[in-house]
Amino acid sequence: MADSAIPASAPATAPEATPKPRATENRSTTPVSTRFRDYIASGWAEREETLPEAREQAAYAAERRARISGLFPGKRLVVPAGGLKQRSNDTDFPFRAHSAFAHLTGWGADSEPGSVLVFEPTADGHEATLYFRERAGRDSDEFYANPEIGEFWIGPRPSLAQVAADLALPARGIADADAVIAAADADTLVVREADRAVTDRIDAARAAAGAGADSSDGGATEGDAELARALSELRLVKDAYEIQELRRAVDATARGFEDVLRDMPRILAHERGERQVEGVFNGRARADGNAVGYDTIAASGPHACILHWTRNDGAVADGDLILIDAGVEVESYYTADITRTLPTGGRFSDVQRDVYEAVREAADAAFAIVRPGIRFREVHAAAMAVIARRVAEWGMLPVSAEEALQPENQHHRRYMVHGTSHHLGLDVHDCAQARRDLYIDGVLEAGMVFTIEPGLYFQPDDLTVPERFRGIGVRIEDDVLVTPDGAENLSIGIPRTADDVESWIARLRS
222 and 280 fall within a common domain: no
Mark which of 209, 233, 257 sits at the end of a domain: 233
- Over residues 396-447, the pLDDT tens digits come to 999 999 999 999 999 999 999 999 999 999 999 999 999 999 999 999 999 9
403 and 297 assigned to the same domain: yes
Distance between CA atoms of residues 316 and 270, nearest Å: 8
Give a yes or no: residue 42 inside a domain. no
Of 205, 233, 261, which residue constitutes the final position of a domain? 233
One domain, residues 354 and 454: yes
Do 107 and 193 fall within a single domain?
Answer: yes
Residues 325 and 193 in one domain: no
Whether residue 223 sits in one domain with residue 261? no
Q: How far apart are CA 219 and CA 19, in angstroms?
A: 25
Report how far residue 405's alpha carbon sits from residue 389's, in angstroms, rounded to the nearest whole number. 9
Does the structure show a pLDDT above 90 at 12? no
Is 7 within the bounds of a domain?
no
Give the CATH number for residue 146. Answer: 3.40.350.10
Asked if residue 223 belongs to a domain, the reply is yes
The more confidently predicted of residues 28 and 110 is: 110
184, 215, 233 — which closes off a domain?
233
Q: Are residues 217 and 275 in the same domain?
A: no
Q: Which of 46-50, 218-222, 384-388 is predicted most confidently?
A: 384-388
Q: Which residues contact 404 (CB under 8 A, 6 or more apart)?
A: 388, 392, 397, 410, 411, 412
- If you write DSSP's letter for every residue of 135-192 in order, what string do you get? PPPTTSTHHHH-TTT-HHHH-----HHHHHHHHTS-EEEGGGHHHHHHT--TTEEE-T
Q: What is the pLDDT of residue 2?
A: 56
- pLDDT for 445-473, tens place per residue? 999 999 999 999 999 999 999 999 999 99
CATH number assigned to the domain comprising residue 483: 3.90.230.10
List pLDDT tens digits, range 130-148.
999 987 778 888 888 888 7
- Cα–Cα nearest to 241, from 59, 82, 88: 59
CA dihedral 234→235→240→245, nearest 10 degrees, is 150
Torsion, Cα 445 450 452 458, to 10 degrees, reads: -140
Please state the pTM of the whole predicted model.
0.93
Q: What is the pLDDT of residues 205-262, one digit of tens each?
A: 999 998 765 544 444 589 999 999 999 999 999 999 999 999 999 999 999 999 999 9
Any domain includes 30:
no
In a domain, 98, yes or no: yes
Q: Does residue 10 lie in a domain region?
A: no
Residues 6 or more apart whose CB falls under 8 angstroms from that of 161 comprise: 49, 51, 171
**Residue 28 within a domain:** no
191 and 264 part of one domain: no
User: Same domain, yes or no, for 220 and 255?
Assistant: no
316 and 250 both lie in a single domain = yes
Residue 101 lies in a domain: yes
Helices 273-288/240-262 angle, 10° precision = 140
For residues 119 and 179, state if they share a domain. Answer: yes
Q: Each residue of 486-496: pLDDT tens digit?
A: 999 999 999 99
Same domain, 285 and 212: no
Q: What is the pLDDT of residue 156?
A: 84
Domain range enclosing 248? 240-509
Domains identified in the chain, total number: 2
